[in-house]
Every structure is written in C-alpha cells, then in structure tokens.
Structure 1
Amino acid sequence: MATPEKIADPTAQTVEHLGSIDKGKDVVEVKEVRGSEAFNEALIQEKVPLMHPRTLQLFACLLIGFFCQTMNGYDTMLFGGLLNNKEYFLKHFNGENKGIWAGLITSMYQIGGVSALPFVGPCIDQWGRRVGMFIGSVLIIVGTVVQGLTSANASEGQMMGGRFVLGFGVTIAAAAGPIWIVETAHPKYRGIITGLCNTTWLAGSILSSGATRGGLDIKGNSSWLIPIWLQMVFPGLIAVFAFFLPESPRWVYASGKREKAHNILTKWHGYGNPDSPWVKLQLNEYEEYLELDGSDKRWWDYRALFNKRSSIYRTAVACWFSAFTQWCGNGPLSYFMSAVLDTAGVNTSIGKANVQLGYSVEQFCFAVIGAHFVERIGRRRMMLAGFFGVSVIWVCMTASAGTLANSLVSGSVDDSDAVFSNHAAGNAVLAFIFIFGAWYSFNLTPLQALYPVEVFSFEIRAKGMAFQSFFVNAAGLINQFAWPVAIKEIQWKTYIIFVVWTFVQGVLAYFFFPETRKRTLEELDKIFDAKNPVKYSTQTRTLAITEDNTVVAVDTEKV
C-alpha cells in the first residue's frame, strides 16, 4: 500500500494545465472523468479491498443502519394488506378499504411524522446519529404496542394514536439512519451502500406483505395482530445494537474530538494506516468545511437552511426530489393496492394478497440491482429515466384500465362481484403494475435515501433531513386523503393525473437537480456554490496521471 507524497488540494478546481507538463517524462496516462480530482486521485493511489475483513465488518455495521428504512416499507404494505382483510380487520373496526375511513386511519402515520420535525435535529445533532436511531426505534416499539392492544377494545382512536407515535419514531429513525450511513461508509462505496440502504424499505414491505398474506389463513383477530406485532422486529434489532456501532466520524470531529475522528477514519477507512490518502483527504475536508460552532450545535436554529442562496437551493432540491418520488403514483399502488386491483379485475382477498407479495419481492430485486448502478449511471440520469419512464407506463396503465372498465358486464368496477368480459385488459393492468414497480424500484428507490442526504452539507444535514421528512410526510398526506377519494369517485381516470404530473417532474428535475456522484460529501459544496449547479455538476475533467501516481487535473474548458 503506497503512501503518496502529495494529495491534490480538494478545494482547487484545476491543479495544473496539461500543456505545462512534460508528457514524455512525467505523464503516463490521461483520461476524462466526472467528479473531483482529489477523489479520483485517492481512487488511483489506494485501492479499497472489497473482501478485506475490515470492509466486511463495516458493511455488517452499516446493515444495522439499513434497518431504519425497513419501518416505512413495513407500514406502507402493512395497511395495504390490512385494508384487504375484510373478514377480521375491517369487520373489527367497522371500516372499509377506501374512502375517508381508510385515509384517516392511515394518515395518522404521516401526521405523527410531521409532528416529529422539531425534534429530529436535537436527537441527531446534539446526541449523535446512533442516539437518534435508538430513540426513533424505541418510539416505534411503543407505537406498535399501542396498536396491538386495540384487539381488546376495537378503539379507532387508540389505533390512530399508536400510528401517530409510530410515525413520530419512524421520522427520527429514518432521518438518523441514512445520515449515519452516508457519513460512516467509505467514500468509494458511499453511493452503492446508501443506495442499498433504501432497498431495505422493500425488505420491510416483503415481510409485511408475507405476514398479511399469511394472516388471511388464520382465524380471528390474530390474522391482523401478528403482522402488527412483527412491526417491532427491525426497531428491536436497532435498539439492541445501536451503541455497538462506530459513530459518524464527521459528527465526532464537529463535536471537537479531532483525534477520535482521526482514529475512526484510520480504523475503518485507512485499514490501520493513519497516512492513508482516504484518511488525509477526509480530515483535510473536515478542517476546511466543518464548523465547530455551526447551527447544528443550536437545536432551535433552522435558519441555516435558508440563510444563503446555496442553502436554499440544497433545501429545495432535497425536499422537492423527495416529494416527487412520493407523487409518481406509487402511493395508490401500495397503500391502496386492494382498491387499485379492483379496477384490474382482481377481487378476492387471497388473489390481492398474492399480487401484493409478488409486487414487493419484485420491487426489492430491482431496487438492489439499481443500487449497484448509481455510480455507473449517475444519480441524475437515473432520476430522469425514472420520472419520464413512469409517465409512459401510466399512459399504458390508463389505457388498459379504461378498456377493462368499459368491458364491465355486471356489478360495480370496484366491487368484489364485478364481472369483466375483456380479460386481456385486466391482465394488461396487472402487467403494467409490475412494470411500474420494476422501473420505479430500479431508478428511484436507491436514490430516495441517498440523494437528499448527499445534497445537504454537514451543518444542515440533520435539520435538513428533518425538513425533508416534513415534505415526505406532507406528500404522503396527499396520497392518503386525495387518492382514496379519487379512486372511489373516478376510479381508473385517477391515473391520468399521474401521466401528466410525472412528466412535469421529469422536466423540473432536468433543469434543477444536479449530479452528486464521484465527490466526497464536503466537495459537493462547490456544486451548490456554482452559478449553475446542474451545469457545473455534469462537466467532465481531464486527469493527467504522473509516474508517481500524482493526479494533475485539467479544466476541460481550457483544453
């Protein structure tokens, strides 16, 4: 393992112009790259061993952080499945799987999430990322217990209260987990690791779908109680192991413990070498960019999110990207899968549960594959493909659902006794549901945890993620209240809204959402300080590599 004599200044846009180098003597390779020269120099000077015991140990630690995303996925598919359990769950509470009742019960989760906003920053900034994960997990366990005890009294108020506490805890844990992961993961693997983080959302949804599907074969209230009690599995694991994990070196450094941060970086990123290029690069950037007395030390101070142009841009990009991923139509295809399948001609509880479970498994597989491409393809290209692609899929879904509805022979489109004459149209709707799941999961699911947390600088990351969570939950409230009513009143015509809106999202993303790959978190400051962040983030650079593995960057505009 070679120790370099020189590491490129991470704040310099151009180190030296290629024309000033004696090519025959010093330069052995010239290539064009995207991203920063300092990051690319570290990649060249020190390889990161994937199968090294320390790498695998760090991956195992990061897996615990992944569990913070499972709770959202579990709940999303949980109530989609419980609203399909007519014989026991809906009968127990005298409810229905669409309309205001369904929207009110499910929306308490989002209301709890929004209410947690003022507490996310203090939990994560004041006491550390691990403490935030722990507190959120404990609250989720409490909320689950409150929900489970409704088996004795069928109290809608208690069920809603439990969902409120659950949503409150999930917001804290779901903010702390990705922040801890992106700040603790090795820079080389940050993209794929944080992208994989959000795929565990789908692992939670698979467990939930399987539990609700299995519950349909059980008699009595246990058919819906078992899926609810299983909601404690992942937060329980986090609560047990949180304090055995390494703390974020950035948080440790910003808390005034430079030597401890250096030791963490040396152990986990330098493989025991304190002079590793990766250790030096990150420490140099901590010294350059991290404020030891920034707004993250003042729990009440959210002004840093809006105190300058770059901060406003960061906040807007993170929040609107998160809202956009909620408004692609995935809401009606998850929380209200039962009602959506009515329009596809799938009317039995078992049939719906089978489709829901298959849908979750498919999404997980494609999300894992997509996470492996976030560095190759790039965040920006994947999100653009995601938004424009689902718009096309919704066109096909709308046409198929409309054709199916027009073939109604008897009953109502959304009733279990509906009979359709055009079975091909029903099969087409089902096919496009699965195509949607595959496309969305590959392109957008890996970015949901990765992109917002990259966009925020350290000083505003925790509060920014709290504010972003507010947007996610506000977007979720629209999903909870608007779509069940729309599906009930105008049925398949609801899909036309998604055709138009997802296309609009793609256009907005093209003009305003920058690329973030192949840069350390601190180097992203250059992008948002630039006059045109999107243009700056997508430009290429020429790297001249000398005989001693020193990288000399060349501004492409000068070549």
Structure 2
Amino acid sequence: MAQQDEKTFATTTLDRSVTNDSHPVVETKTIKGSTAYNEALIKEPVNLRSPMAVRLLLCLLLGCFAQTMNGFDGSLFGGLTANQQFLDFFHGTKAGEWAAINSAMYQIGGVCALPFVGPLIDTWGRRWGMSVGAWIVIVGTIINGLTVLNAGHDGQLKGGRFILGFGVAIVSAAGPIYVVETAHPAWRGIITAYCNTFWFTGSILASGAIRGALNLEGNISWTIPVWLQMVFPGLIVLFVWFIPESPRWLFVHNKREAAVSTLAKWHGKGDVDSAWVRLQVAEYEEFLNTNGSDKRFWDYRALFRDRSSRYRIACNCVFSIFAQWAGNGVLTYFLPAVLTTAGYTSSVTQANINLGYACFQYFFALFGANFVERLGRRPMMLFSMGGCCLVWVGMTVATSQFAQSGDENSSAAQATVAMIFIFGAVYSVGITPLQALYPVEVLSFEMRAKGMAFSNLAVNAGGLLNQFAWPISLDKIGWHTYIVFVIWDAVQFVVFYLMMPETRRRTLEDLDEVFAARNPVKASLIPKKVAVDSEGTIVAAEKLESEA
C-alpha cells in the first residue's frame, strides 16, 4: 500500500495524485469507475470457481428466486386466458374489462403493500423481507387454488390475486437488495443482472405447465398451473435462514463485528485484511449512517432530502416505470389477445407460442446479462429501447396489413409473430438484465429499502396502465394500439440518454460521488489515467476530461 495518510479506501477521489519513491510506477492504465475498486481488482482478482464463491452464489440464488414470481404470474394469467375451460369457469374473456380487472388486482395489491415494504426490510433485515413476502405469496396461491370450490364466482380469484401482488411486492424488493448488497463487489453487476433473468424461470414454468395441462379435461387443466405458483416462495421459506444477512444491514444496525466477519468469510477468503474487506469496511464507515432515516419506519425524507437524493429516486422510478411501458406489458399479460389480432385463435397454438416466447426471451436475457460489466448499463438500455421502437414500427405495419386483408394475409400474420419474437430478443438482451440491478444500485443504503418500496408504488401504478388500458384498447381499436408504443419508446430513449448515469465498475458507496456531481451522467463517463506500482497499488490518478 502507498502511504495510508495520503490514500485511504474511504477517501479515494477521482483527482487523487500520489507519489511514492519506494513504489516506482511500472504500468499506466486508463480506467473507468472507482479508483479504489480497480486497485482491489488488480491486487486480488476474484475466482468465481472457488468453493467459497460457489457457496455464496448458492446463497444469492434465494434472492434470485424472488424474481421468479412476477414472471410466473405474467405468463400464468396471460396463459390462462388462452384456456377456454378457465374462461368458461369464471365466465371470463381474453380481452376487455374482465381480463383487465382480474389482472390488475395483482398490481393493486402491490401498491397497497408500499407502507410495509421499506419498514419491514429495513427494521428486520433482508432475510425477513424475503421470508414474509414469500409466506404471503403462498397464502395467495392457496386462495386462488381453492377457487375451484367456488364455481362461477371470480371474487375469490380477485382476492387471491390481490394478496399475491401484496406478497410479491415485498419479496421482490427484498430479493434484489439482498443480492446487490451481499454479492462480491467484483461481480455484483453480472450476478444481479442474472438475478432478473430468473423472471423467465418463473415464466417458463408457468407457460410449460399451462401448455401441458391443456390436454387435460376439466378444471385440473388450470388449477395445476395455479398451484405451481407456490414452488419458488416455498423454496425461499425453507432455506432463507441458512444464508448470511446483508453485511451492509448488519453494519448500520451497529453490528460491526458481524458485518466485518461476514465480509471476511464471503469476500475476503477468511482474511479481515483482504483488500476487498478493507475497501468495503472503510466505505461503510464513511458513507453508511448508523442513525439514518432507514431506522424510522415513518421517515421517507431521505428520498427527497437534497438534489442528489431526488436525482437518485428519479433515476430509480423512471427506469423502473419505463421498463414496464416499452410495450412488453401487453405481450406478457395479454399475448393471446395480441395473437388474436394476427389470426392465431387456437388455444393450443397460443399456448405453444406463449411457451416458445418465454424460452426465447430467457436465452437473450442470459446472453445480455453477460455484458453488463463489459459494455455498461447505458449502452445496453439505449440499444434495447431504440430497438423496441423500431420493432413496434414493424409490428404496426404487419398487423395493419393483416387487418386490411380481411384476416386472410398469412404472410402478415407470420410477420406479426416474428415481430413479437424480435421484440422479446431486443427487450430481453438489454432491459431485462438491468431491471433488478440498476434501480437498486442507484440508491444509497439509507434510501434503498424505502426507495425500492417507492419504486414499487410507481411501477405498480404504472402497471395499472398495462392492466387496464391495453386489453380494452386491443378490444376496441386492435392494431392501432401499437402506434402508441412507437412514439413512446422513442421518448423513453431520449430520456434514458439524457438522464441515466453509468454505474459500471463502482462500489455502491462510490456512486455517492457520481450523484453529487452537477451532471451525474457526464461524471459517470469520465475516464481516468492511473499509475500502478509493482504491488498493484494505484499511486496516481488523473481525470481525462477531454476524453469524456
């Protein structure tokens, strides 16, 4: 290490310049992101195949399971509307008000959970949040599964979906927070990106169950998929108490020794003097507030305290909402209705396409997650949003040609399905990996749990547009609905470009400096030239503003 009074992990700055004759410079590099982070990466490269790393990945897997639940429900309800036995049982329809209201109860439950999400996760810990949320989802599943005993009445279905949405709001906030805060800093980005791809694990399970059960006679054809919604919350409640608590949560609750011990065991190979442990502990001591508003369940002032906080929560909510408004909502919950506009009316055909679509998206989400650290967050979100805009142009043209042909143009119908799959690829490769990562990492610790609860409010409120507007719009004006997405995705692309800073290769605490800047986007993109000595210590760093 260079002289500790001149350079500490806790006070690393972008314009630091240190010289030390006892450590001659042997290499210069141009880097982006945190200087201290890059120094730790040089001194202690991380091996994902080590036994401890594998064990930590298995622990983080439970946080990833939290992301399966929204995916399961999206494909479940959308797929069930292609099951005529389900629709006949509840006297329902694929599109229109019945589908809109029953689908929206899930979002309404999520909105109502807002006051409880932050206080629960902050007060009792990330594991308690996952556990309580998972138990509520199990209760909602039981209620929905037992609707088979109440023929013809969908009030119980609505109630069960409300409870499902309530529980998922809690567990889906706690899960990504746990993964982001507990993962090793060197692979936080890619692991959390893969976390959200578990959305498709749930989606594929639901789609596969729906397709397989279509061949069965009677109500069992739809109750089997409904009961399977209990699988992943069940795994969480069974194993959540065998995983370590978030070290950041331990630290801010005055459990410093437990936090350091957790970091040393899981990030430092058992060594409390590890560069990664020292980096994180020093940053915890400087940036984490042990008496912050996260200790007061009623106090949401941290979200709006200053310009930096307001910018953070704006980035969180804007990204979260825009990720739902790209047009993916209509293809998730109401794919059968969309396929009907293209002439695909058979229940089996719609179920086959629904399952194939989920698998197709999963592949591209996994592919995209591999690039969050290589390319960065901004290039990925901009590529996907721009691509979605172009795909909706193709979708509009194809469906309009099909409608004008009197539903006879098979080429236009096939082009519509192709556009649906292309949209899934473009959206999944860039947006899906970021949905569990970017909204969490732009928030400071004090803001994180309540900020994610606030974000859930925004997402669920925005999701009501998906649930209410689009099924009715598809029913009333058909393919003209897609013109809205063409225009709106273009607007979202511009907002992303102007507003969203890059977060790649920085610790969570180091992002404070980015958001404190006058122009966070510009500050996040400035590269630095660093000098490295023979021990891997960075002894000098200089901003290269002219190259930003």
Q: TM (normalized to structure 1)? A: 0.95
Residues 170-227 of structure 1 show CA distances to partners (whole Å, capped at 9, x for unaligned) of: 0000000000000000000100000001000111000000011112111000001000
Aligned to 2:420, which of 406, 429, 433?
Answer: 433
Structure 2 residue 379 is matched with structure 1 residue 391: no
Aligned partner of residue 519 in structure 1, secondary structure: coil
Match of 1:458 in 2: 445
Aligned partner of residue 13 in structure 2, secondary structure: coil
Q: Is residue 107–residue 477 contact of structure 1 (8 Å, CA) maintained in 2? A: yes
**Aligned-pair distance for 1:15?**
5.7
**Aligned-pair distance for 1:304?**
1.0
Match of 2:542 in 1: 554
**2:221 aligned partner, one-letter code:** S
Residues 302-350 of structure 1 show CA distances to partners (whole Å, capped at 9, x for unaligned) of: 1111111111111111001100000000011111000100122211000
Question: Residues of 1 paired with 2:16 and 2:293: CA distance?
Answer: 36
Match of 2:263 in 1: 265
Match of 2:39 in 1: 41
Aligned partner of residue 456 in structure 1, secondary structure: coil
Match of 1:501 in 2: 488
Match of 2:76 in 1: 78
**Aligned-pair distance for 1:115?**
0.1
Alpha-carbon RMSD = 1.6
> For the structure 1 residues 14 and 148, does the alpha-carbon distance in structure 2 shift closer, same or farther, using more than 3 Å as the test?
closer
Q: Is residue 8–residue 15 contact of structure 1 (8 Å, CA) maintained in 2? A: no
- Equivalences for 1:123-522 in 2 at 5 Å? 123-154=120-151, 155-408=153-406, 420-522=407-509
Aligned partner of residue 543 in structure 1, secondary structure: strand
**2:137 aligned partner, one-letter code:** I
> For the structure 1 residues 338 and 293, does the alpha-carbon distance in structure 2 shift closer, same or farther, using more than 3 Å as the test?
same
**2:327 aligned partner, one-letter code:** G
Counting aligned pairs with the same residue, the percent is 56
- Equivalences for 1:44-83 in 2 at 5 Å? 44-83=42-81
| Structure 2: tracts of 5 or more residues without a match | none
Structure 2 residue 1 is matched with structure 1 residue 13: no
Question: Residues of 1 paired with 2:388 and 2:544: CA distance?
Answer: 35
**Aligned-pair distance for 1:421?**
2.7
**Aligned-pair distance for 1:544?**
1.0
Structure 2 residue 125 is matched with structure 1 residue 118: no
Question: Residues of 2 paired with 1:211 and 1:123: CA distance?
Answer: 33
Aligned partner of residue 532 in structure 2, secondary structure: strand
Question: Residues of 1 paired with 2:41 and 2:453: CA distance?
Answer: 33
Aligned partner of residue 270 in structure 2, secondary structure: coil
Aligned to 1:541, which of 511, 521, 528?
Answer: 528
Question: Residues of 1 paired with 2:174 and 2:16: CA distance?
Answer: 40
Structure 2 residue 94 is matched with structure 1 residue 107: no
Q: Is residue 8–residue 41 contact of structure 1 (8 Å, CA) maintained in 2? A: no
**1:133 aligned partner, one-letter code:** M
Question: Residues of 1 paired with 2:70 and 2:332: CA distance?
Answer: 12
**Aligned-pair distance for 1:557?**
3.6
| Structure 1: tracts of 5 or more residues without a match | 409-419
Aligned partner of residue 542 in structure 2, secondary structure: strand
Question: Residues of 2 paired with 1:329 and 1:378: CA distance?
Answer: 23
Q: Is residue 67–residue 196 contact of structure 2 (8 Å, CA) maintained in 1? A: yes
**Aligned-pair distance for 1:538?**
0.9
Q: Is residue 10–residue 523 contact of structure 1 (8 Å, CA) maintained in 2? A: no
**Aligned-pair distance for 1:13?**
2.2
Question: Residues of 1 paired with 2:17 and 2:62: CA distance?
Answer: 45
Q: Is residue 70–residue 203 contact of structure 1 (8 Å, CA) maintained in 2? A: yes
**2:426 aligned partner, one-letter code:** W
Q: Is residue 8–residue 37 contact of structure 1 (8 Å, CA) maintained in 2? A: no
Question: Residues of 1 paired with 2:399 and 2:346: CA distance?
Answer: 18
Question: Residues of 2 paired with 1:172 and 1:398: CA distance?
Answer: 37
Question: Residues of 2 paired with 1:182 and 1:370: CA distance?
Answer: 18
Q: Is residue 17–residue 555 contact of structure 1 (8 Å, CA) maintained in 2? A: no
**Aligned-pair distance for 1:386?**
1.1
Question: Residues of 2 paired with 1:194 and 1:105: CA distance?
Answer: 31
Q: Is residue 14–residue 34 contact of structure 2 (8 Å, CA) maintained in 1? A: no
**Aligned-pair distance for 1:169?**
0.2
Q: Is residue 61–residue 245 contact of structure 1 (8 Å, CA) maintained in 2? A: yes
Match of 1:524 in 2: 511
Residues 485-528 of structure 1 show CA distances to partners (whole Å, capped at 9, x for unaligned) of: 11011101100000000010000111111111100000010111
Aligned partner of residue 298 in structure 2, secondary structure: coil
**2:206 aligned partner, one-letter code:** S
Aligned partner of residue 522 in structure 1, secondary structure: coil
Comparing 472-481 with 544-553, greater Cα deviation is found at 544-553
Question: Residues of 1 paired with 2:63 and 2:404: CA distance?
Answer: 48
Aligned partner of residue 361 in structure 2, secondary structure: helix
Question: Residues of 2 paired with 1:201 and 1:557: CA distance?
Answer: 39
Q: Is residue 178–residue 453 contact of structure 1 (8 Å, CA) maintained in 2? A: yes
Aligned partner of residue 549 in structure 1, secondary structure: coil
Q: Is residue 515–residue 534 contact of structure 1 (8 Å, CA) maintained in 2? A: yes
Question: Residues of 1 paired with 2:371 and 2:144: CA distance?
Answer: 39
Comparing 37-46 with 342-351, greater Cα deviation is found at 342-351
Aligned partner of residue 201 in structure 1, secondary structure: helix
Q: Is residue 110–residue 473 contact of structure 1 (8 Å, CA) maintained in 2? A: yes
Question: Residues of 2 paired with 1:319 and 1:465: CA distance?
Answer: 9
Q: Is residue 117–residue 466 contact of structure 1 (8 Å, CA) maintained in 2? A: yes
How many residue pairs align between the two structures? Answer: 543
